[in-house]
Chain A
Amino acid sequence: MGMQSRNDALDLSQMNALVVDTDPYATEMLARIMRGFGLKNHSSAFSGESAIQAVAEKKPDLVLVESRLPDMTGSDVIKRIRREENPLIRHMPLIIMTGHTVMADIEMARNSGANIVIKKPVSAAILFDRILWAASTDRDFIETPSYVGPDRRFKSLGPPNGIGRRSTDLSAEVGAASEPNLAQSEIDAFIKPVKIKLE
Chain B
Amino acid sequence: MQVVKIGKVHNSLRKALTGPNRIQKDKAVAQALTNVEEIRGVLTQGIGEEISKLHHLALRREESVSDGTIEEGVALAGVLYNLAGAMGYRCLQSICASLSDLFVAMSDGGSRSYDSILVHARAAMLASPGMPPLSPEIEQELLGKLKDVVSFAGSGPDRSRTAT
Contacts and interface: CB of A to CB of B under 8 A. Distances in A.
B78 A38 contact: no
Contacts of B18: 11
B163 A119 contact: yes
Among A101, A138, A140, the one with the most B-chain Cβ atoms within 10 Å of its Cβ is A101
Per DSSP, chain B at the interface is helix
B134 interface: no
Interface size class of A (residues with CB under 8 A): 35 or more
Contacts, number: 189
Given A3-B25, A38-B21, A121-B82, A61 B12 contact: yes
Contacts of B23: 9-12, 37-38
Interface stretch (B31-39, B52-60, B115-123, B136-144): B31-39
Interface size class of B (residues with CB under 8 A): 35 or more
A23 B35 contact: no
Given A36-B34, A88-B10, A102-B162, A9 B43 contact: no
B16 interface: yes
B102 to A, nearest CB: 11
A9 B11 CA distance: 17
B7 A28 contact: no
B9 A121 contact: no
B25 A100 contact: no
B123 to A, nearest CB: 15
Contact of A142 (B5, B36, B46, B82): B5
B75 to A, nearest CB: 7
A132 to B, nearest CB: 7
A33 interface: yes
B33 to A, nearest CB: 6
Interface string B153-164: 000010011110
B39 A32 contact: yes
A25 B79 contact: yes
A87 interface: yes
B4 A142 contact: yes
Interface string A1-18: 001100111111111000
Given A8-B24, A9-B24, A103-B161, A135 B85 contact: no
Given A9-B23, A15-B16, A25-B82, 20 more contacts: A4-B25, A9-B22, A9-B28, A12-B23, A15-B12, A15-B15, A29-B43, A99-B82, A100-B101, A102-B161, A120-B78, A121-B81, A124-B32, A125-B29, A128-B32, A131-B13, A131-B16, A140-B7, A145-B3, A168-B4
